[in-house]
Amino acid sequence: MEWNKKLMERYWEKLTSDKLWEGVIDSSIEIMLILLVSWIAVRMGKKLIKKLFLIRMRSPLNHSERRQRTISRLLQSVISYVVYFSAIIGILSSLNIKVAGLLAGAGIVGLAVGFGAQSLVKDVITGFFIIFEDQFGVGDYIKINGAEGTVVEIGLRTTKINGGTGEQFIIPNGAIGEVVNYSVNNSKIFIDLQMTADADFEKAEMVINQYLESLPEKHKELIAAPVFLGVQNVKGTEVTIRIAAETLPQQQYGVARSIRRDVTKLFEEHRIPMAHPKMMFYDKGEGRSE
């Protein structure tokens, strides 16, 4: 009992000593200053990066606003990680914790983990270069390793793609091989329509050209007025005519549907016969067709 009493008295003396509380107050003030300076440094750093990249994006020589924004967000994240990591080191030092020993131990553990996480390192490095080189961005329609859809998220480790039927592909960046990006350049499309061989081709050409010249005012997605290329193929009693159009990236499908609908309607109005599939009926008894 005497031993326990002496032990309690010793701890009580330490807890009530002026030296202990002076150290606690000094460490608390130092930690608060470290956190405050870190918070200010992160805010100022992010604002500075935003202003620098805002100036670059407003420049008339800028050709990749999306890339500037992506790199800006990446640098802001890096600043946060670096500053707050330094703040943690400073806080540990103010608490009289030997940081050198902790860093040495962390280095050994990191080396051991690194041998078993080579794929993770590969994912991170590949993700960094995807963002830095602006190979594709959020909102782009791409195809990777058989996965096709719209990019919804690009991280340092994985890329997420939403497919056309609602499925989501999560692809490790290290596994990304050949990438097909459909959103970088303007889209081109060829629209084929069938006419009968006895139709008035000159009349059809005139009607189509007049219609195509009016399309840029109706469809802002078009880069220029579509071009009537003429006869593409002749097969039996059918003549295939072709129209070529160039649109903004991934806007060609809606324009093509509109052109097919309008041209079909125009042909009906001007009585230009279009080729339709024919069904043949055979009489087994007489062996003739109707």
Which tens digits make up the pLDDT trace of 129-149?
A: 887 777 888 788 899 988 889
| Reported confidence tier of residue 8, pLDDT bands at 50, 70, 90 | low
Nearest-angstrom CA–CA distance, 246 and 219: 11
Question: In this model, does residue 4 exceed pLDDT 80?
Answer: no
Distance CA 125, CA 107 (A): 20
For residue 285, pLDDT beyond 80: no
| DSSP letter, residue 222 | B
Say if residue 47's pLDDT is above 80. Answer: yes
Model confidence at 221, pLDDT cuts 50, 70, 90, reads confident
Check residue 127 and give its pLDDT: 81
Confidence of residue 290 (pLDDT cuts 50, 70, 90): very low
For position 60, what pLDDT does the model report?
46
What percent of the chain clears pLDDT 70, i.e. is strictly above it? 72
**Mean pLDDT score, 50-57:** 67
Structural domains of the chain ordered from first start: 8-56+63-96 (no CATH), 131-179 (2.30.30.60), 185-268 (3.30.70.100)
Spatial separation of the C-alpha atoms in residues 224 and 219, rounded to whole Å: 10
More confident residue, 24 or 267: 267
Q: How confident is the model over 199-221, as a mean pLDDT?
A: 87
pLDDT per position as a tens digit, 69-101: 666 766 777 788 788 888 887 887 777 776 666
Residue 187 has pLDDT above 70, yes or no: yes
**pLDDT at position 63, please?**
46
pLDDT in tens, 24-36: 777 788 888 888 8
Nearest to 94 by CA among 41, 34, 42, 37: 34
Residue 253: half-sphere exposure toward Cβ, Cα within 13 Å: 2
Residue 104 has pLDDT above 80, yes or no: no
- Enumerate residues 6+ apart whose C-beta is below 8 A from 90: 34
Q: 3-class secondary structure for 171-190?
A: EEHHHCCCEEECCCCCEEEE
pLDDT of residue 70: 63
- Average pLDDT in the 212-222 region? 86
Residue 150 has pLDDT above 50, yes or no: yes
The pTM for the full model equals 0.54
Evaluate if residue 45 carries a pLDDT over 60.
yes
- Across 189-217, average pLDDT: 88
| pLDDT of amino acid 73 | 67
pLDDT tens digits for 226-235? Answer: 999 888 888 8
Identify any residues that bridge with 228 across adjacent strands, giving them in sequence order: 243
| Residue 180 token pair | 């097909």
Q: What value does the mean pLDDT take over residues 195-216? A: 87
Q: How many whole angstroms separate alpha carbon 126 and alpha carbon 176? A: 8
Query: How far is 69 from 125, CA to CA, in rounded Å?
Result: 19
pLDDT of residue 289: 45
